[in-house]
Amino acid sequence: MIDKQLLLSHCQDLVLAKADDLKLAIKNTREAANNDTKSSMGDKYETSREMLQQNINQLEQQLAETNLMLFSLRSIKIKAHPLGIDMGTVVNTTLGIFFIAVSIGAINFATHSVVIISQVSPLGKLLKGKNTGDDFTLNGQVQKVLAIY
């Protein structure tokens, strides 16, 4: 069985690391833009500066989205015995093991491969409220909820 609290903490660590990486990339890009100011002139300077600014804007947008993910993860309350699939639930299905949280994707945790999905993802919507033994159809194939934790 998977320790949900440890899995949640691991997800938070992954998102925090991504936020740190984005902050560093923003800092480095700003420094590159400032250094470019000192060494370039004319149209080349303006084009280069604009490209760097667009890159910074994209990184800042990614950081904002990452911070929202972290906020969502921190708001999850782990239930010892969930009554159905919802936020913070680990679900074992015929497709694999899923953790309903935020969209992170597949990770290795302990000895398991776990896919971290959002409850608003297509699969998350299909699973919401299901219980052990319930069926669901994904891409025309009937799947089964084997266990929820």
The total number of structural domains in the chain stands at: 2
Average the pLDDT over 121-135 and give the result: 96
**Are residues 69 and 8 both part of a single domain?**
yes
Angle at 118 between CA 115 and CA 123, to 5 degrees: 75
Is residue 34 situated within a structural domain?
yes
Both tokens of 13, joined, read 């660590």
Q: What is the pLDDT of residues 22-73, one digit of tens each?
A: 999 999 999 988 876 555 455 555 677 888 899 999 999 999 999 999 999 9
Q: What range defines the domain where residue 97 resides?
A: 90-148
Is residue 81 situated within a structural domain?
no
- Is residue 88 very low, low, confident or very high in pLDDT (cuts 50, 70, 90)? very high
**Are residues 67 and 107 both part of a single domain?**
no
Which of 16, 45, 74 terminates a domain? The answer is: 74
Angle at 68 between CA 25 and CA 19, to 5 degrees: 25
**Amino acid 98: pLDDT:** 98
Q: What is the pLDDT of residues 96-111, one digit of tens each?
A: 999 999 999 999 999 9
**Amino acid 65: pLDDT:** 97
